[in-house]
Structure 1
Amino acid sequence: MKTISDNALIEDLKMGESKSYRLLYQFYFPSIALYVKQNQGNNEDAEDVFQEAIIVLFQKVNEPQFVLTSSLKTYLYAVSKNVWLKKLRDNKIKIINDELSLSDYKNEIVSFEMEPENLREEKLENWLQKITSHCQNILKALFFYEMPMQNLMIKMGWKNKHSASNQKHKCIQQIKKIKDDEA
């Protein structure tokens, strides 16, 4: 089997050589496919993830300041892993509308007095059901999935961190208002 150095492969990518894409697939796809399959994916998912990683690589190698600081395999694996984890997070956010799982919520959403846990969970479920689905998604993403605000900002299409913080604040205020109304 013929081998090619990472730098030579990158140069071929920059020149648009089709053989470079075949080599990437031949050498690096199997380990990425294995990772995706071991983490709730299938072969089709792995192919999608690998294609996205190749696109990222192609964009990066064409930037003048791009310097590969690891092996090409490590780079593609890391990009692919991030792409797959994002897809998993995104899918959970979408699915969450269909099912409210009481034990999944975190206590940070609102402050509770010292009560038995099942009573706190019951109250929290009740409050969450009374707020908008938009706010349910935001609060679940932030507190259950622990999604970084920057990622949520991008996913929701907010223009800046200030807008994101305002949205979070408004959603927490919805919970607090419902809590206060019941008190």
Structure 2
Amino acid sequence: MNKRTRFLYSDKDYLDGLKTRDSEIITAIYYNHIDLVKNLAVKNSGNEEDAEDLFQDAIIITYKKIVNEELELTSTFRTFFYSICRNLWLQRLSKRPGKVIDIADVEEYVPLSDSQEYEIHDESENRERLYLKHFGKLSSDCQKILKHFAEGKSVREIAQIMRYKSEDYAKSRKYQCKENLKKRIKNDPLYKELLDNEEE
């Protein structure tokens, strides 16, 4: 997408484009909001991979609210989308042991309704159950690596803890383990069921 044209969409364009799953609009939403989501994650005990996952989940939640005619913007789309990401990230941080939940905000946000928070919580719970089911089937080595990365440890620290010969090997093992986990999840019938529910 051309940098000169990617900002020329209105909030209505975003809503209409998401409703029809217009790939150009979804790309525009990504380009215009991913830095915001990355800032949120990175400044609050996360990383850029966490931000990509956050963005994807927030898009799905927003899409579902649009097609179910449950979304009426009382703010800008950017503020609403940030609020969804913020809520999702708060829930994920709350499940990390020893983490103090105090978000350093990078954007204005709007409080979500009880029904919106419940929906986000329900979505997160389903995905977490699926994740944990297949995480437990990984090798002990893979589980340790992914757990260390999730806790925010650096590649150097993980290489030392796992006694790997180099940081590059630690990166390679992390990639292999994550891809293995993704493959297992995508082959699970529950994953396909979740996708079907999202498209209803």
TM-score, with normalisation over the residues of structure 2?
Answer: 0.46
Q: Give the structure with the larger helix fraction.
A: 1
TM-score, with normalisation over the residues of structure 1?
Answer: 0.50
